[in-house]
Amino acid sequence: MGGPSRGSSAAGGPPAGGPPPSRAAGPSRAGGYELPPAYGYGTPLPNQTAVSPSPEAPVQSTEHVSRETPGMDEDDPPLAMEALRAVQILNPSGEIIMPRPDHPRVICVANQKGGVGKTTTTVNLAVALALHGNRVLVVDLDPQGNASTGLNVPHHAGVPDVYDCLIDNVPLAEVAQQVDGIPNLYCVPATIDLAGAEIELVSVVARESRLARAIAGHPVKFDYVFIDCPPSLGLLTVNALCAAQEVLIPIQCEYYALEGLNQLINNINLVRQHLNPTLDVSTILLTMYDRRTRLADAVEQDVRNHFGAKVLNAVIPRNVRVSEAPSYGQSVLTYDPGSRGATSYFEAALELAVRGVNTGGAA
Nearest-angstrom CA–CA distance, 40 and 37: 5
Taking a C-beta distance cutoff of 8 angstroms, is the pair 247, 241 a contact? yes
Residues pairing with 29 in the sheet: 34
Nearest-angstrom CA–CA distance, 155 and 179: 13
Nearest-angstrom CA–CA distance, 265 and 258: 11
38: pLDDT strictly greater than 50: no
pLDDT at 245: 96
163: pLDDT strictly greater than 90: yes
Helices and strands (H, E) in the chain, number of each type: 13, 10
Listed range (37-46, 117-126, 254-263, 328-337) with the worst mean pLDDT: 37-46
pLDDT at 285: 97
pLDDT tens-digit map of 42-71? 333 333 333 333 444 444 333 434 454 344
Long-range contacts of 305-310 (CB under 8 A, 24+ apart): 307/281, 310/281, 310/282, 310/283, 310/284, 310/363
Q: What percent of the chain has pLDDT over 90?
A: 60
Between 116 and 74, the higher pLDDT residue: 116
Between 86 and 164, the higher pLDDT residue: 164
CA-to-CA separations, 353 to 32, 182, 341, 358, in angstroms, rounded: 12, 18, 18, 9
pLDDT at 48: 35
Nearest-angstrom CA–CA distance, 289 and 251: 10
Taking a C-beta distance cutoff of 8 angstroms, is the pair 216, 333 a contact? no
Q: Stretch 264-273: mean pLDDT, rounded?
A: 93
185: pLDDT strictly greater than 70: yes
- pLDDT bucket at 23, cuts 50 / 70 / 90: very low
Nearest-angstrom CA–CA distance, 355 and 310: 10
pLDDT at 24: 37
DSSP notation for 64-84: ---TT--SSSSSSPPHHHHHH
pTM equals: 0.78
99-356, CATH topology level:
Rossmann fold (3.40.50)
- 3-state DSSP percent of the chain in helix, strand and coil, to 5: 40, 15, 45
pLDDT at 150: 95
Nearest-angstrom CA–CA distance, 91 and 134: 13
Domain boundaries in the chain? 99-356
Strands (E), 224-279: 224-228, 246-252
Q: How many CB atoms lie within 10 A of CB 78?
A: 10
Q: Stretch 183-194: mean pLDDT, rounded?
A: 94
pLDDT at 76: 53
Q: Across the chain, what does the average pLDDT equal?
A: 81
pLDDT tens-digit map of 339-351? 999 999 999 999 9
pLDDT at 270: 94
DSSP notation for 108-170: EE--SSTTSSHHHHHHHHHHHHHHTT--EEEEE--TT-HHHHHTT---STTS--HHHHHHH--
Going by C-alpha positions, the residue among 196, 137, 194 that lies closest to residue 160 is: 194
Q: Stretch 86-100: mean pLDDT, rounded?
A: 86
Maximum mean pLDDT: which of 35-49, 51-65, 307-321, 345-359: 307-321
- pLDDT bucket at 113, cuts 50 / 70 / 90: confident
Listed range (12-21, 83-92, 112-121, 323-332) with the worst mean pLDDT: 12-21
Nearest-angstrom CA–CA distance, 313 and 299: 14
Nearest-angstrom CA–CA distance, 153 and 145: 10
Taking a C-beta distance cutoff of 8 angstroms, is the pair 94, 133 a contact? yes
Taking a C-beta distance cutoff of 8 angstroms, is the pair 44, 67 a contact? no
Rounded to 10 degrees, the C-alpha dihedral 4/10/13/16 comes to -60
pLDDT at 81: 78
pLDDT at 31: 42
288: pLDDT strictly greater than 60: yes
Q: Stretch 348-357: mean pLDDT, rounded?
A: 92
